Amino acid sequence: MSAFPKLRTLQRWMAHVMVHPATADVALRDRTVRALVPLADALAGRVVKPNDRMTVAERLQVYNGGYLARLVEVLASDYGALQHLLGEREFHRLCARYVDAHPSRHHNLNQLGAHMPAFVARQRSLRAHAFAVEVATLEHLLTEAFDAPEFTPLLPERLQTFAEDQLPRLVLQCNPSLRLRAFRFPVEEYYTAFKHDKAPRAPRPRRTLVAVYRQPDYRVIRATLTPPAFAVLSALARGTPLGRALAAADDQVAVGRWFQGWAADGLFTGAVVRRTGRTGSA
């Protein structure tokens, strides 16, 4: 019989058993786990006592299964549309593999799903794989937008403080939650149908351009943009001066409407005019 392990060793042993992607019975036989507490000692009840209803492995499985169930629940809250697409069983298996590859290391569980889009991209056996990657990507953008830093929107009337000849050289600072992405599929339409309980199916490819951002009241907005609107907003987000960004669109009436809507939605937080030797700001 081995010497009774120290507290730190017991803590590490229990942690390994809890987070093991398989069952507790399999975890007890894992090489790392056996190095901490020999299998014979564990099964003999030297660490966890069996009772008249449950073996040692069965008692440990309460913690092993509960831990994974909690993490799957967290991931489902961020990736509900992906769960719908894959089905609960396949999503659960995906999450078990994901947690094994990317165990929770942060005190904030909001960080748990940060690697999901890249992980899904590597799981080529998933149903509707290419679309699943884009669903995961959109849902991750929504989480990023919600968790983005605080910001103070630039009031549209503040732009009136600039002289008319300064406006073409105005560089707008964008809301830090803004995310712009081109997708191969109509993923935003699918997500909207999912949110309205319409049980959507994976669609055929159709290129869509999407903006995701958070408003001051913490509502996260998803907007499908036309190619010209996407080009203008992308240029502004890159720091292209206002005049050059707006001139790229043919329909200036539409451009004015887009710009007013974006400003009203809090997409801009500041503005500067850069000149040789002098900078103005608002």
The predicted pLDDT at position 1 comes to 55
Q: Give the pair of three-digit tokens for residue 122.
A: 């590597």
Among the listed residues 28, 30, 25, 21, the one whose alpha carbon sits nearest the alpha carbon of residue 96:
21
The predicted pLDDT at position 277 comes to 45
What is the DSSP code string of 38-61? -HHHHHTTSSS---SS--HHHHHH
What is the DSSP code string of 243-277? HHHHHT-S-HHHHHHHHHHHHHTT-EEEEEEEETT
**Torsion sign over Cα 252, 257, 262, 266:** positive
Residue 112 Cα distances to 63, 127, 173, angstroms: 19, 23, 30
Contact of 257 with 140, CB cutoff 8 Å:
no
Domain boundaries, the chain: 7-114, 146-281
Burial class (CB in 10 A: 0-12, 13-18, 19+), 133: buried
Spatial separation of the C-alpha atoms in residues 264 and 260, rounded to whole Å: 6
The predicted pLDDT at position 107 comes to 64
Contact of 282 with 159, CB cutoff 8 Å:
yes
The list of the chain residues with pLDDT below 50 reads: 276-280
- State the CATH class of domain 146-281: alpha beta
